[in-house]
A and B are shown apart, each in its own frame.
Chain A
């Protein structure tokens, strides 16, 4: 249980945070969007950190999740080729969330199957192209997506509680806790996965692929499964985003958001459970701290500077760096001998 202590402490702090902030709507909004992007960063970490495969189109899964969820709850009426017409009546947002997860899992399977026969750079290129194609579809299939005019009036989540009727999550407070619950579930899921047989297979493939194959690990299957779970998680984050903001346009597919996610994962510590969470909070809330003092373009330069400093001081990211400091202190404590140890 002690290994989960930092995570539980962070969870308690995050649960108490809205009360400490005194319900400031601006800060709550920043926390909610940061939380949603952090879930996406956690999903990216499953691929980048634990299998070593870089998905530079991860935002595609996020955006598909947002659009699938939004369209399910809004309904649509489109005409396909040969006069085939599809009319969809609105369904509850919770169903949209489920469909978003399923649809993005399917996309993850396709992308994984296509690219994991040849790995590395090939996967990076396939994911970038995939994201660009999906963005163009969202932009140009106006009949379905309204194109640049955006999908508006997306209904908020409403949760049916047995015996208590249903609650519609309209306030920022309610959405904050929804994001916190989904984020915690995703964290727990990843934590279980990486400690399992599947997690060991991922680590083996990352550290020494030939050796992993020689002990009977099926590379294509393991990596595809990782891509499916990662994509589904990003899709869930996208769905949260759509029903919180209640308006989405093709800009959800911006390449720069993928870059932000990569910065969160690498800065926080890739291949660690808490890394993307810590990185997500820092780089997600940095714009809030910087906004009073500088324009967005200048903020990007600060982002870069912070990342360089982190990489310089803690080359493997914040979380591994702090963990190392903690073990060093613990190791030196019982001895109580003032000896300077230089590596």
Chain B
């Protein structure tokens, strides 16, 4: 059904080379509005590089990314955010020396468009109050209300990830790119996060996810794109990806696909 609509994000034959090293070779896939798509692959497969290209932190050596029909080549990161494409980061996802609340206030930069003159004349009181209300709403949404006055740098990793998500949501994106959001979270925190991702989608935000936690990816994704050595090796719904021999081989090494098949055959015989 979503195939009929135009894609919100198209990665169009993108390649990235660092000197002789090929980080991404000819990556090509689309994401449709309202989908939750996961980008998976072994370490070094080029997932984070792909994110960096989509958000303007890296220039591709070939191909281009289009978001809602607009080509992103030559745009700076802060210009891409303005189009409605927002991201989180794998490791440093907070402004460590500020409180969680002030983090979100910084994140609301795009929304509080007061002129400097008004600031100096004290004419933006109402605007600032509206921003603070919005910051409280966002913290409530990601479940960090209780932590709003704590220094962001003092939070546990899992909570810092949530701050990162709140910051990305503060930019009011149409699409959100999450880079390993549940790494460092335990099983119950991960479950809470899965519900958060679903609630983000319910509010009309498309989600693209890079993640290593396979049970979580299988649970939450509508569709999965698999990368290995910078190449797309498989694409499809979770059930198809789980039993795809090329994917199993990429993750577990050569020959393991054959072993898995033999194992499956044996199990069928036993049954």
A: which residues have CB within 8 A of B? Answer: 189, 192-193, 196-198, 200-201, 203-204, 207-208, 210-219, 225
Q: Are the CB atoms of A203 and B106 closer together than 8 Å?
A: yes
Among candidates A198, A200, A216, residue contacting B105 with C-beta atoms closer than 8 Å: A200
Among candidates A196, A197, A214, residue contacting B77 with C-beta atoms closer than 8 Å: A214
> Which residues of the other chain, B, contact A212 by a CB distance below 8 angstroms?
95, 106
Q: Are the CB atoms of A215 and B167 closer together than 8 Å?
A: yes
> Which residues of the other chain, B, contact A210 by a CB distance below 8 angstroms?
57, 77, 89, 92
Q: Would you list 27 pairs from A and B whose C-beta atoms are within 8 A, ordered by A residue?
A: A189-B120, A193-B120, A197-B113, A198-B119, A200-B105, A201-B106, A201-B109, A203-B98, A204-B106, A207-B96, A207-B97, A207-B98, A211-B94, A213-B57, A213-B77, A214-B86, A214-B87, A214-B88, A214-B167, A214-B168, A215-B86, A215-B106, A215-B167, A215-B168, A216-B82, A216-B109, A218-B76
B: which residues have CB within 8 A of A? Answer: 55, 57, 76-78, 81-82, 86-89, 92-98, 102, 105-107, 109-110, 112-114, 116, 119-120, 122, 124, 164, 167-168, 170-171
Q: How close is B70's CB to chain A, nearest CB, in angstroms?
A: 16
Among candidates A192, A193, A208, A217, residue contacting B96 with C-beta atoms closer than 8 Å: A208
Among candidates B89, B93, B114, residue contacting A197 with C-beta atoms closer than 8 Å: B114
Q: Given that A196-B114, A215-B171 are known contacts, is A204 also in contact with B109, CB under 8 Å in the complex?
A: yes
Extra pairs beyond A192-B120, A197-B119, A215-B171 (8, CB < 8 Å): A196-B119, A203-B97, A203-B106, A207-B95, A208-B94, A211-B92, A214-B55, A214-B167
Q: How close is A108's CB to chain B, nearest CB, in angstroms?
A: 15
Q: Are the CB atoms of B109 and A215 closer together than 8 Å?
A: yes
5 closest cross-chain pairs (CB), A and B: A216-B81, A213-B77, A196-B119, A207-B95, A216-B110
Among candidates B96, B97, B107, B113, residue contacting A215 with C-beta atoms closer than 8 Å: B107
> Which residues of the other chain, A, contact B82 by a CB distance below 8 angstroms?
216
Q: Using a Cβ cutoff of 8 Å, how many contacts connect chains A and B?
A: 90
Q: Are the CB atoms of A192 and B170 closer together than 8 Å?
A: no
Q: Are the CB atoms of B94 and A215 closer together than 8 Å?
A: no
Q: How far is the CA of A211 from the CA of B88 in the complex (A)?
A: 8
Q: How far is the CA of A200 from the CA of B105 in the complex (A)?
A: 8
> Which residues of the other chain, A, contact B81 by a CB distance below 8 angstroms?
213-216
Q: In the complex, which of the residues A198, A213, A218, A219 has the most CB atoms of chain B within 10 Å of its own CB atom?
A: A213
> Which residues of the other chain, A, contact B122 by a CB distance below 8 angstroms?
192
Q: In the complex, which of the residues A193, A213, A216 has the most CB atoms of chain B within 10 Å of its own CB atom?
A: A216
Q: How far is the CA of A193 from the CA of B119 in the complex (A)?
A: 7
Q: How far is the CA of A215 from the CA of B112 in the complex (A)?
A: 12
Q: How far is the CA of A213 from the CA of B112 in the complex (A)?
A: 16
> Which residues of the other chain, A, contact B168 by a CB distance below 8 angstroms?
214-215
Q: How close is A233's CB to chain B, nearest CB, in angstroms?
A: 14
Among candidates B76, B87, B92, B102, residue contacting A208 with C-beta atoms closer than 8 Å: B92
Nearest chain A residue, comparing its CB with the CB of B131: A197
Nearest chain B residue, comparing its CB with the CB of A197: B112
Q: How close is A66's CB to chain B, nearest CB, in angstroms?
A: 26
Q: How far is the CA of A214 from the CA of B109 in the complex (A)?
A: 11
Q: How close is B119's CB to chain A, nearest CB, in angstroms?
A: 4
Q: In the complex, which of the residues A189, A192, A204, A215 has the most CB atoms of chain B within 10 Å of its own CB atom?
A: A215
Q: How close is B112's CB to chain A, nearest CB, in angstroms?
A: 5
Q: How far is the CA of A257 from the CA of B237 in the complex (A)?
A: 67
Q: In the complex, which of the residues B107, B114, B124, B164 has the most CB atoms of chain A within 10 Å of its own CB atom?
A: B107
Q: How far is the CA of A78 from the CA of B77 in the complex (A)?
A: 48
Q: Are the CB atoms of A200 and B106 closer together than 8 Å?
A: yes
Q: How far is the CA of A211 from the CA of B93 in the complex (A)?
A: 7
Q: Given that A196-B114, A200-B106 are known contacts, is A211 also in contact with B95, CB under 8 Å in the complex?
A: yes
> Which residues of the other chain, B, contact A204 by a CB distance below 8 angstroms?
95, 106, 109
> Which residues of the other chain, A, contact B89 by a CB distance below 8 angstroms?
210-211, 214
Q: How close is A52's CB to chain B, nearest CB, in angstroms?
A: 11
Q: How far is the CA of A154 from the CA of B28 in the complex (A)?
A: 70
Among candidates B86, B87, B94, B109, residue contacting A200 with C-beta atoms closer than 8 Å: B109
Q: In the complex, which of the residues B77, B88, B92, B113 has the most CB atoms of chain A within 10 Å of its own CB atom?
A: B77
Nearest chain B residue, comparing its CB with the CB of A198: B116
